[in-house]
Amino acid sequence: MNLEKIMTDLEKKHPGEVEYLQAVREVLESIEEIYNENPQFESAGIIERIVEPDRILTFKVPWVDDSGKVHVNLGYRVQFNNAIGPYKGGLRFHPSVNLSILKFLGFEQIFKNSLTTLPMGGGKGGSDFDPKGKSNAEIMRFCQSFMLELWKMIGPETDVPAGDIGVGGREIGFMYGMYKKLSREHTGVLTGKGINWGGSLIRPEATGFGAVYFAQEMLKTKNQDFKGKVVAISGFGNVAWGAALKVTELGGKVVTISGPDGYIYDPDGISGEKINFLLELRASNQDIVKPYSYEFPNAQFHQGKRPWEVKCDVALPCATQNELGKDDALALVKNGVMCVAEGANMPSTPEAIEVFQEHKVMFAPGKAVNAGGVATSGLEMSQNSMKLNWSSEEVDMRLHQIMKNIHEQCVKYGTTADGYVNYVKGANVAGFLKVANAMLDLGVL
């Protein structure tokens, strides 16, 4: 594989798509060795085919706010690769959304979905719409307008979107309602649905739970567990709250959460009632980080800072991409962090990952750690197809087993000569091999 030539060609074709190019480079670097050992991949043009999405849909989303003013946002769906199953991946509503970010997320999703062992291809979508500060009625009108375009492209056997940043149960509900009306069908076309209309138990907390199950497996390799461990978490959204809940349940102490404006440090631990307080604020679309520090006086708010400066044993970045840079990584290492598991997608910069790996800190990437979310979406699809509901114990047991399997695959493909597990390599190689072999079987498409 001529990695530099591939990257130079891609940069020419997609100038300025920084996040997408960063994600592609990381995967190619990891799989270079295995790719070169398998000349059949080169002759089938697997790399050239896997780095470009099958197709991208871009559309306008007009909607009317409560004062009668008309707004227009952009909507996207990137259908990246469906070699092993229908396209599957979340929808993100955030002002920063652009094609580079959605292509990076869709590309990552191919390998993540492959790792789950479930039959799901990779895709991603969303809009530059900002749900923050909008009324319920405004969010409903936006979601309905978004689905009015998207519904033609998706289907339970074609492409099954889900939530992501800015898209939780409420938004999925409004979009699913519109899809149901347009298609005249009640099918598993979206996951993350409400429990009364086709959703799966445990799905809301699945990504966070899965991330902690994965980190638990990492700790186990050093004969350690979460008991008594101090844990720093960033964000407090779909992923972070499930993670905070599970860490607490396993005996760890979560000392931070964060938002775009800063982080909270609570030396007493963020658990129980405090998590419920945060969830109530979140449900009513309010800021959560600052109000927490007013409610619980021992907690301190650090304006404009990230949580990686606090002393912790385990760090779980659960907010957004590139939120943990080289200096943050150096601070974590200096403070004795032993395990970093990415709940978010690509939260650590390549320079930060290098720091962790150089210092032999256990580090695992989002595509392995947060795969529990999409895996449980896969379980929701199975339940929808069978028209039955599993108990929370059953879903949780399956999720736990899937996370253990993903960890095993990372160890199998990522263990280096000195015994250190390079989880980045392990996850990329395991995820890639399955998709690449399927592409070989299916012919040039």
Catalytic residues: 124
Contact in structure between 163 and 205 (CB atoms under 8 Å) = no
Q: What minimum distance in Å lies between the beta carbon of 33 and ligand NDP?
A: 27
Least distance from ligand NDP to the Cβ atom of residue 267, Å: 20
Q: How far is it, in rounded angstroms, from Cα 60 to Cα 75?
A: 6
By beta-carbon proximity to ligand NDP, the closer residue of 112 and 425 is 112
In sequence order, the 6+-apart residues with CB closer than 8 A to the CB of 81 are 50, 53, 54, 87, 110, 121, 122, 435
Q: Which CB, 211 or 333, lies closer to ligand NDP?
A: 211
Q: Which is nearest to 77 in space by CA: 117, 36, 121? A: 121
**Residues near ligand NDP, by CB under 6 A:** 163-166, 207, 234-239, 258-260, 318-320, 323, 343-345, 370, 373
Q: Is 339 helix (H, G, I), strand (E, B) or coil?
A: strand
How far is 68 from 85, CA to CA, in rounded Å?
42
CA distance 414 to 132: 40
Under 8 Å between Cβ of 442 and 84? no
Residue nearest to ligand NDP (CB): 237
Helix (H, G, I), strand (E, B) or coil at 74: strand
| Identity of the residue numbered 434 | K
* Least spacing, CB of residue 20 vs ligand NDP, in Å: 14
Task: Answer yes or no: are the C-beta atoms of 45 and 70 closer than 8 Å.
Answer: no
Q: Which CB sits closer to ligand NDP, 28 or 344?
A: 344
Q: H/E element holding 175?
A: helix 169-183
Using the minimum distance from each CB to ligand NDP, give the nearer residue, 145 or 377.
377
Residue with tokens 């253990």, as numbered in its chain: 404
For the CB of residue 286, give the shortest distance to ligand NDP in the complex, in Å: 9
Distance CA 226, CA 187 (A): 39
Cβ proximity to ligand NDP: between 165 and 353 the closer is 165
Residue 295 phi/psi, 5-degree rounding, is -75, -40
Please identify, using beta-carbon distances, which residue of 32 and 128 lies nearer to ligand NDP.
128
Q: Where are the beta strands (DSSP E) in 100-204?
A: 122-127, 159-162
Report the alpha-carbon distance of residue 93 to residue 171 in Å, rounded. 10
Helix residue ranges, H only, 251-391: 272-283, 289-295, 326-334, 350-358, 366-369, 371-386
What's the closest the beta carbon of residue 418 comes to ligand NDP, in angstroms?
Answer: 31
Nearer to ligand NDP, 39 or 304 (CB): 304
Nearest to 366 by CA among 1, 125, 9, 23: 23
The C-alpha atoms of residue 337 and residue 331 are separated, in whole angstroms, by 9
Cα(360)–Cα(165) distance, rounded to whole angstroms? 31
| Least Cβ distance, residue 109 to ligand NDP (angstroms) | 9
Q: Which is nearer to ligand NDP, 382 or 437 (CB)?
A: 382
CA nearest 264: which of 239, 236, 227? 236
Q: In angstroms, give the least distance from the CB of 234 to ligand NDP.
A: 6
Q: Least distance in Å: CB of 170 to ligand NDP?
A: 11
